[in-house]
Amino acid sequence: MRIKLDRTLCDGFGICAKHAPEYFSLDDWGYAKLEGSGDVPAQDRDAVMRALLDCPVHAILELGERRPDDDHRPLVDTADPAGSLKTEDNEAQWGFTR
């Protein structure tokens, strides 16, 4: 599991640091700071999830995991768009608009 802390949202309630002090500390003004890289091993997942779910302003975000079998290709239609353009030849398929 990977997490990210959006400090612009944090309102400084300190709940995260109470639930998962290894991952969240509070600065001098009581706002949360993420400790470490944001990677959370399985054994700490419950504590971090509790911090995430209890954060009243949703400042803690769970980032999606990259799976080794992801091919990372964008989900775009690679078909040639010129094939669906309206022309004199296929006007009957599109209807008469003149």
Q: Applying CB under 6 A, which residues contact ligand SF4?
A: 10-16, 24, 32, 55-57, 59-60
Q: Which is nearer to ligand SF4, 24 or 48 (CB)?
A: 24
Nearer to ligand SF4, 40 or 60 (CB): 60
Q: How far is the CB of 57 from ligand SF4 (least distance, A)?
A: 5
φ, ψ for residue 92 (rounded to 5)?
-65, -30
Beta carbon nearer to ligand SF4, 58 or 86 = 58
C-alpha angle 48/50/51, rounded to 5°? 65
Query: How many CB atoms neighbour CB 5 within 10 A?
Result: 22
Buried b (16+ CB within 10 A) or exposed e, 41-62: eeeeeebbbebbeebeeebbeb
Question: Minimum Å distance from CB 32 to ligand SF4?
Answer: 4
Minimum distance from CB of 38 to ligand SF4 (Å)?
13
